[in-house]
Structure 1
Amino acid sequence: MSYLNTLLFGIYPYITLAVFIIASIIRYDREQYTWKTGSSQLLESKKLKRGSRAFHIGVIMVLLGHFVGLLTPAEVWHVVGIEASHKQLIAMAFGGVFGLLCFYGLTILIKRRLTNPRIRATSSKMDIAVLLLLYVQLILGLLSIFVSAGHLDGAEMLLLMSWAQNIVTLDGAEAAAAIAQVHWIYKLHVFLGMSLFLVFPFSRLVHIASVPIQYLSRSYQVVRSKS
């Protein structure tokens, strides 16, 4: 196992997670006013609604699938009667459907931000960089489906599960050893995924961490029609 592989997949994940946590806390403490999405709905709403809905539904389901699929031990799947090969087919179908939905929405959002002069003028370099990084990450995820179709035994999926679970249990060496054997498409997908944690505190992605729970208990807002 090479030193580079250990660095990228056994050490780098902890660096990104440390930056993610520490920088997010600092930003929330010192710059709460910037902790927002910076919505451009007032500048254009039709394409935003169409793209945002598709993107958010797709990305939420994809992330949920990754979370459950990677962090649930293989033994649990065996108990419920799902073998590795079957789980891989489920993951390919689930990821393909919601990945394409996410791709459709994100394409609209990127085109809108880059081609609408007013929205482009209010966009920071980080806004555009994050959108493009998400786009590349999503394309890699979709391409990985074709790689998975070439071997339906679930072997590489088990190695990716081992990587994720060893990262969670703080065994970076075992994690790096597991992922060393998978296709480069998966490796690049994992690397960019971890890099998103790195840029998270410095972008508008921070709004993900702000769930408006208070809306569930606050009084209804009274809106009167014009007389």
Structure 2
Amino acid sequence: MKPMDIPTDVNVGLDDVMLWGVLPYVVLAVLIGGSIWRYRYDQFGWTTRSSQLYESRILRIASPLFHFGILAVIAGHFIGLVIPESWTDAAGISEHAYHIMALSIGAVAGFGTLVGVALLIYRRRTTGPVFMATTRNDKFMYVVLVGALLAGLATTLVNVFDPTVTDYRLTVSPWFRSIWIFQPDIAAMAAASFSFKLHVLWGLALFAIWPFTRLVHAFTAPLQYLFRPYIVYRSRDPQGVGAAPVRRGWAPVGTPDRDRRNIRR
């Protein structure tokens, strides 16, 4: 179902200015400043506090489901918020086709992420050692995270079944892009439907607490692990054990020409 266009008669009040013109920059300052502070003064706590040793059977399913799901959710939000409608039109993607893809892929990604986090919460609640290692900070983080996911799925359902919902590509997306050029389009966000406003507020709350929870480990994901070199083991000397003098441990080894040169010596 095609969303409605943005209404032209939008009244911008003081609450709109505070929510959509001031609050985003407050959250951004907390996110950046809190992350810098945490990295500088709490590097030991900059960790996921892994509980894999306590239980791995459920974690083996829940963790990939949550992490791959949240990556798909982030990619979907990036496409929906950053890429203007004119770009997809120029690429030959009709508005109807775009919304069908966005709703279907978004629903699958959001539902998969929600199932993953539900399994993680179930694991924490039912596994004794994991539950004992769960802090109040973790519980609060899960509440905000699940709230943001539920609000996002709710906007997806409302966008399908409610014909009065405004098009987020004409309201939320322009507002989001305007934030980064320090000219917030408050009127566009004020014209958005309530479900989108609720989802945005939940998202802002999640980013505000991000630096002070275990979610901060996302900023230091071990991406270099994907590009690590192969581990080279020392091979057996071709002359046999004891036939050549023992070389120092830091001497280069492993190439045939170098081995032959050592034999001639």
- TM-score, normalization: structure 1? 0.90
> What is the deviation of 1:100?
1.0
* Aligned pair partner of 2:107 in 84, 96, 120: 96
- Unaligned runs of 5+ residues in structure 2 are 1-11, 234-265
Alignment match of 1:130 (pick from 141, 151, 158): 141
- Equivalent position amino acid for 1:164 in 2: F
Which of the residues 131, 155, 175 maps onto 2:167? 155
Aligned mates of 2:169, 2:43 — CA distance in 1: 40
Pick one of 197, 208, 213 that aligns with 1:198.
208
> Structure 1: which amino acid aligns with 2:218?
I
1:113 counterpart = 2:124: yes
1:47 Cα offset (Å): 0.9
Say if 2:179 is the partner of 1:164.
no
- 39, 49, 54: which one pairs with 2:50? 39
Alpha-carbon distance change, 207 to 14 in structure 1, aligned in 2, over 3 angstroms: same
Match of 1:76 among 87, 112, 133: 87
- Supply the RMSD in Å over aligned alpha carbons: 1.9
Q: 2:197 corresponds to which residue?
A: 187
Aligned partners of 1:154 and 1:49: how far apart in 2?
A: 40
TM-fit CA distance, 1:18 = 0.7
Shift of 1:219: 5.4
Q: Tell me, which stretches of 5 or more residues in structure 1 are unaligned? A: 223-227
Q: Write the letter of the residue equivalent to 1:47.
A: I
- Identical pairs, percent: 33
User: Counting helix residues as a fraction of each chain, which structure ranks higher?
Assistant: 1
Asked if structure 2 preserves the Cα contact closer than 8 Å seen for 1:99 and 1:138, the reply is: yes
TM-score (norm 2): 0.78
- Secondary structure at the residue paired with 1:123? coil
C-alpha distance 214-5 of structure 1, shift in aligned 2 (>3 A): same
